[in-house]
Amino acid sequence: MSRPRSESEYLARLIPPSAAVGGLSRRGFLKGTLGAGAAVSLSSILAACGGGDDGGGSGSGSKEVTFGSNQSDPVPKKAYAEMTSMFQKSSGLTVKTNTVEHETFQENINNYLQGNPDDVFTWFAGYRMQFFASQGLAGDISDVWGGLSGMSEALKAASTGEDGKQYFVPLTTYPWGLFYRKSVWQEKGYQPPKTMDELVTLAKQMQKDGLVPIAFADKDGWPAMGTFDQLNLRINGYQFHIDLMAGKQAWDSPQVKKVFDTWRELLPYHQTDALGREWQEAARALQKKQAGMYLLGMFVGEQFPEDQRDDLDFFTFPEIDPAVGTGAIEAPIDGVMMRADPKNEDGAKQFLKFTGTAEAENVLLKTNNTVIGASTEADASNYTGLQKKAAEFIGSAESIAQFLDRDTRPDFASTVMIPGLQTFIKNPNDVDGLTKSLEKQKKSIFTS
Amino acid sequence: MTDLPTVPATPASAEAAPRRLGRRRRRSVQASGTDRVFLALMVGVPTLLVVGLVWLPAVATVILSFASWTGVGDLDTIKWIGTQNYVNVFTIYPPFKPALGHNLIWLAFLFVLPTCFGIFLAVLLDRELRGTRFYQTAFFLPVVLSLALIGFIWQLIYSRDQGLLNAVLNTQIDWYGDSRWNLWAVLVAAGWKHAGYIMLLYLAGLKGVDPSLREAAAVDGASPARTFFSVVFPVMRPINIIIIVVTVIEALRAFDIVWVINKGTNGLELISTLVTANVVGEASRIGFGSALATIMLAISLVFITIFLWTVMRGEQQ
C-alpha cells in the first residue's frame, strides 16, 4: 500500500467500498434531516403557543380569579388549596391557583411581575413589598383594608407602601426567638436569661455540661441576618434599625460597630464551622439535644418530629441596654398582594378581603402549626402551647421588624450583606474594615 | 499496513483530482434554484439563532454595563452612569478579587493536573492492553455526568461526618464548608471529569498517528517516553490545540458545580457565580452584573485572540 500522494487521494481511500456506490446521497440525507427537524420544531412551537394561551388568557371572564402561590411544600399547599375552595363555595367565583416552587418564585419575581402575573399572588410584608409597590407593580387595596378587622396597627404599618396606601393583606406570621427544649433545660436546671450577662453565664454553664450553647448555621447566608437584627434591635433600638435598613444610617457608625463587637464576644459560644452547615442541620442539633438553644424563627419546629414539638419553647433575645429594653421583636409576615391592573379586579379584591378574615386563616392554621395567624381574630383554640405563646408574644410587642432581607433593598441584602456577614463569621476581628466596605457598597447601591 | 479500509486509487482519478480542484477555484459553484434556497436556510437559520441569542445579548450586556437598572420598567428607566460599575467592581466589591483568583487557579489546575493526566491515560490505553475497552469506559463515565451531579456525588466523599475521606483520614474537616480547602476539593471533583474528557480526545487523535513514525523511532532506538515527546506529540499538533481550547473553555465555564454546593460563596466565588447572583433573582443589579459579565468576556477574548493568532499563523505556514 503506497502512501497517498494528495489530500483527495487520502480522502478517497477513507471511503469503505460498501458506501461508495448508490445508497443515500449526501444531499438527500441532508434534505431529510431538515424536513424532520422542521417538523419537530414546528410542532413544538405550536404546542408552546397553545400552552401560553392557556396560561395567560383565561381570566377574561369576571368569574375567575388567578392566584400565584409560592407555597410549594405539601403541607402549606394543601392548606392554601382548602382556603381557596372555601372561598369558591362562599362567593361563587372560581380561583385558579398556579403554584411555583418557593425559592423559584422569589427568584423570578421581577420577570413574573413585569410579564403576565396572576391577579393575586403570595408575597412578604416590609420593604420587599414596598419596593414593588413603588415600581407600580402592585395594586392599591386600601379599600379592602377598610373592611378588615383584627389587624393591629403594626400589621397595618407593615402592609402600607411608601405612599401611605395599603398593598398587602397579612395571612400568617411567626416570631424569631431563642428556641430550646424544655426537657433538656428542666433536667439541667437552666432558666431563660433576661440580660446579656445572664446569657453569657448560661452559655458557659452549657459548655461545662457538654452542650454547644447556641446552634448556628449560615451556609445559605440569610440565617446570620437574624442574629444581626436581634443584636441591633437590642443595642440601638427599633428606629435606628429601620433607618439603617432604609439606608439612612451609616454602616460604619459606632453604633453598628458596637453590634459587631458584641457579636464577636458571643461567637465563641456558637457552633463552629457555621458556613458549611444549613439551618436544618443546626435545628436537628437542637432536636438531638446536642445544642442548648437556637436563634431562629418558629419554623425550627419543622425539623422536630410531631410528637416532640410540644417540647419546644422560646424566649425573647435578652436585654442588652436597659434604656432600649426588649420591646422590639422580629416577626416576618407572609401574605398576599394584588397585581397592578388585574384582569378581574372585583374578584381579586373579594378574594383578598376573604383572606383577611379569621376563617381563611383558621383553615391555613389547621394543617400548619409552625406559624400563627396574623389577625387577632384567628381561632386560637386549636393552637399548641407554642403557638399560643407566639401569638401573645407578637400581640404584645411594641414594634415588629420583618427581617433584614425583607426590610431593606433586596439587592443590598443578597449581594452585599450575605458575603459581608459570612466574612465577619470567618474573621470577626476586622470590624472596621468590614463596616467601611459595607458602607461604601451601601452608598453605591442606595444612590443608584 | 493501515487499519483503515481503503479504495486503491487509480492514476486517472489521482490526475483528475487536482485538475478538478483547480477548475472549481476558477468558476463559481453552479447551484440550482432549490439548492440556493436550501443553502440559504441551512446557513441562514443557524446564523439568525447565533446572532439573536448570542451576539445581540452579548452586545446588549456590554452596553448595559455602563448603566444602572433594576430590570423593572421600560428602557427609559435606565440610568447611564458611565464606568461607575467597573470602578465599583474593582474597588469596593469584596468578592471580586477572590473570584478572579479562583478562576485563574481553576485554569492553572486544569492544565497542570487533569489535562496531563488525561494525556498520560490516553498514551497508556493506546498500547491496546487487555481490558482497554473497560478502562476507556470507566474513565469516560464521569464525562457523561453533569457537573451539578458530580458536586452531589462527591458530597458523599467530602461530607464532614459521614464522608469517606474523613473516615479514611480520620479528620473532621468540612471539605465543602471550610474556605481553606473547598476550592481544592471542588477542583479535584471537576478534574475527575475533565481527565476522562481529555483522555478520550487524545486517544482518538493517537489512533490517527501513522504507525510508521513510531516504527521509525523504534528502529532509531528511542525509548517509549522519548518516542512520545519527540515524535508523537509534535505530530498531534491539531489535537493539542483542541485540548488547550477545551481546557480553557471548561475553566472559564465553571459554574454549575460551585452553584450547587453553596451558590458561589465562602471560598467558592467565581466570576460566573457573581454575575448570576447579581443579575438573576431579586437582586436584579443588571448594570453591575453586566459589568462583571463584560470583564469575563474580556478575559475570554484574551484566550480567543491567542488561539486565533496561533491557528492563523499555523495555516499560513
Q: Where are the domains of chain A?
A: 58-173+333-391, 176-330+409-446
**Is B183 within a domain?**
yes
Residues of A in contact with B84 (CB under 8 A): 444
Cβ contacts (< 8 Å) between B160 and chain A: which residues? 273, 276
Burial of B148 (0-12, 13-18, 19+ CB in 10 A): middle
- What pTM was computed for the model? 0.81
In a domain, B281, yes or no: no
Count the helices and strands in chain A (H runs, E runs): 21, 12
pLDDT at B116: 92
Assess if residue B157 is contained within a domain.
yes
Residue B303 lies in a domain: no
H/E element, A149: none
Which residues in chain B are contacts of A220 at CB distance < 8 A? 263
Nearest to A342 by CA among A6, A44, A4, A64: A64
Instruction: Return the CATH number at B252.
Output: 1.10.3720.10
* Mean pLDDT along residues A431-444: 94
Across B47-69, average pLDDT: 94
Q: State which H helix or E strand residue A141 sits in.
A: none
CB within 8 Å of chain A, chain B residues 162-191:
174, 176-179
pLDDT in tens, A5-64: 788 877 777 777 666 555 566 766 777 776 676 666 666 666 555 444 444 444 445 688
Residue B156, judged by CB atoms within 10 A of its CB (0-12, 13-18, 19+), counts as exposed
Q: What is the dihedral of CA A148, A153, A154, A157, to 10 degrees?
A: 80
| CATH 3.40.190.10 applies to domain A176-330+409-446 | yes
Fold match between domain A58-173+333-391 and domain A176-330+409-446:
yes
Q: Domain for residue B38, yes or no?
A: no
Do the domain assignments include residue B136? yes
Task: State the pairing for strand pair A120-124/A212-215.
Answer: unpaired
Closest residue in A to B2 (Cα) is A1
Q: Summarize pLDDT for B33-56 with one digit per residue, the tens.
A: 889 999 999 999 999 999 999 999
Mean pLDDT for the stretch of residues A200-229: 94
Q: What is the pLDDT of residue A433?
A: 94
CA distance A404 to chain B (A): 14
Between B19 and A216, the more confident residue is A216
> For chain B, what is the domain count?
1
Which domain range does residue B166 map to?
Answer: 96-268
CA-nearest of A56, A69, A54, A58 to A351 is A69
Q: Which residue has the higher pLDDT, B208 or A203?
A: A203
Q: What is the mean pLDDT of residues B128-132?
A: 86
Q: Hey, how many other C-beta atoms are within 10 angstroms of the C-beta on A432?
A: 11
CATH topology of domain A58-173+333-391: D-Maltodextrin-Binding Protein; domain 2 (3.40.190)
A11-15, A331-335, B200-204: range with lowest mean pLDDT:
A11-15
User: What φ, ψ does residue A166 adopt, rounded to 5°?
Assistant: -90, 140
- pLDDT of B10 over the 90 cut: no
Looking at chain A, how many residues does it have?
A: 448
Which of A5, A110, A440 lies at the smallest CB-CB distance from B282? A110
Q: What is the mean pLDDT of chain A?
A: 86
- Give the pLDDT confidence score for residue A365 in this predicted structure: 85
Q: Which of B9, B93, B281 sits opposite A12 (nearest CB)?
A: B9
Query: Alpha-carbon distance B278 to A199, whole Å?
Result: 38
Q: Read off the pLDDT of each residue in A168-176 and give the average, rounded to a whole number.
A: 92
Which residue of chain A is at minimal alpha-carbon distance from B269?
A419
B223 within a domain of the structure (yes/no): yes
Asked whether residue A236 carries a pLDDT value surpassing 60, the answer given is yes
Cα angle A43-A48-A50, degrees, rounded to a multiple of 5: 95
Residue B262 lies in a domain: yes
pLDDT higher than 90, residue A336 = yes
Residue B259 grid coordinates: 452553584
Here the ipTM equals: 0.80
The residue count for chain B: 317
